[in-house]
Structure 1
Amino acid sequence: MLRYLDRLVETVVGALVALTTIAICLNVFYRYVLDSGLVWADEVPGFLLVWIAFLGAYLAARKDGHIAFDMLLEAFPPLLKRVVQVIGDMAVIGFFVLLGLKSWQMIDRVGDRSIETLPIAQGVFMSVLPIASTLMVVALSVRLIQRWRNA
C-alpha cells in the first residue's frame, strides 16, 4: 500500500513541477514577447514550490535519503545505535505531529482568505503542511517498525 502512496506522491510532485515550469515559461513569454506580465505567475509558482519541497521531503524520508551526520552513531554498539535512532525518529515524529496540528489551526484562522493575485483560498496552498506532516509521520513510523523488526 505504501508503494502506491509513494507513486501517488511522486506523480503529484511531477505534475506540480510541470505546472510550475509552465507558469514560469508563460510569464517569461508574456513579459518579454508581449510586454505584459501575468501577475499570478510570480506568486503561484512560489506556493507550488512549497508543495514540491514538503512532498519531496516525504519521498526522501521513505527512501532514507535525508542528510544525516552519523559518524558518531556508527561508532556505537548496535543496541545503543538503534536506541538513539529510535529516539531521534520519535522526536521528529513529535515535531511533525505538532506541525500538523498547528497548521490545521492556522488554516482554520486564515485559510479562507484569497491569495493576492487570484481568487484561490490560501488554505489550498497551506494544506500541504498537514498533508505532508501526516505523510512524514507515516514514513517515520514505518521506519521505526522496520528498525525493530531488523534487530
Structure 2
Amino acid sequence: MLNSLRKFFEVVLEYFVIFLMVILTAIVVVAVIYRLLGSSLAWYDEVAAIMLAWITYYGSALAALRRRHIGFDSVLLSIPMPARMWAVMLAEAITAGFFILLAWAGYTVMTILGGMSLTSLTWVPISFTQSVIPIGAVLFVICQALSLPDYWRKTAGGVSLEHAEIEEEVETEMKKAGNA
C-alpha cells in the first residue's frame, strides 16, 4: 500500500513538474520571438518568475520523495548505532517541522493577499500564484514521510544513498562505453 502510494505521488509529481517546465519553456520561446519582432509581452517577467517558483517547490517535493536532496551520508553513516538512528529521527523532525511552519506561513500570506491580483494579468489572483508555498510544503512533508521507511532501512544497514547513486551512474556510463 505504501509503495503504491509512493509510486502514485512520484508519477503525478514527475509529470506535473515536466508539464510546468514545458509551459515555462513555451513562455520563454514566445517572449523571445515577440522581442525579436519588436514588441514585448507585458506579463512575461511576472509569469516566468512564478513558473520558476512553482517548478522549484514541486520539484523539491519530488526530490524529497526520491531522497535526492543534498545530504551528508558519509557523516551520518560514521555515527555509531543507535545514535545514528536518533540523528535520523532528529533530522527528519527538524525538516518536517520547518516545512509545517512554512505551510502555515504560506497559508497566512495567501489569505492576507487574498483580494490582490498580478500586476500584469489582473484577472489572476495572487493567492493562486502563492498557493504553491503551502501546497508545496505539505507535499514535501508527505513525500518525506513516504520515503522514510526505505531511507530508515538503508541508513540502519549502513547503505549510503549518495554512493549508491554515484555507483549507478558509473555503471550506466560503463555500459554505454562498452556498447560504443
Q: TM-score, normalised by structure 2?
A: 0.77
Match of 1:45 in 2: 48
2:111 is matched with which residue? 108
The partner residue of 1:142 within 146, 156, 167 is 146
**Displaced runs of 4+ in structure 1, greater than 6 A?**
none
**What code does the residue aligned with 1:72 have?**
V
Number of equivalenced pairs: 150
The answer to whether the 8 Å contact 1:113/1:122 transfers is: yes
How far has the Cα of 1:112 moved from its partner?
A: 2.9
Deviations 1:104-127 (A, max 9, x none): 111001033111110201111111
Secondary structure of 1:54's aligned partner: helix
Identical residues among aligned pairs (%): 29
1:31 aligned onto 2:41 = no
The answer for the alignment partner of 1:56 in structure 2 is 59
Provide the rounded CA distance (Å) in 2 between the counterparts of 1:108 and 1:60.
Answer: 28
Taking only aligned residues, the RMSD between alpha carbons, in angstroms, comes to 1.6
Change (3 A) 1:20 1:60: same
* Offset, 1:145: 4.0
1:19 matched to 2:41: no
CA contact (8 A) 1:40 1:117 kept: yes
Unaligned runs of 5+ in 1: none
Structure 2 unaligned blocks of 5 or more? 157-180
**Partners of 1:111 and 1:126 within 8 A in 2:** no
Structure 1 position 122 matched with structure 2 position 126? yes
- Which residue matches 2:73? 70
Amino acid at match of 1:36: S
TM-score normalised to the size of structure 1? Answer: 0.91
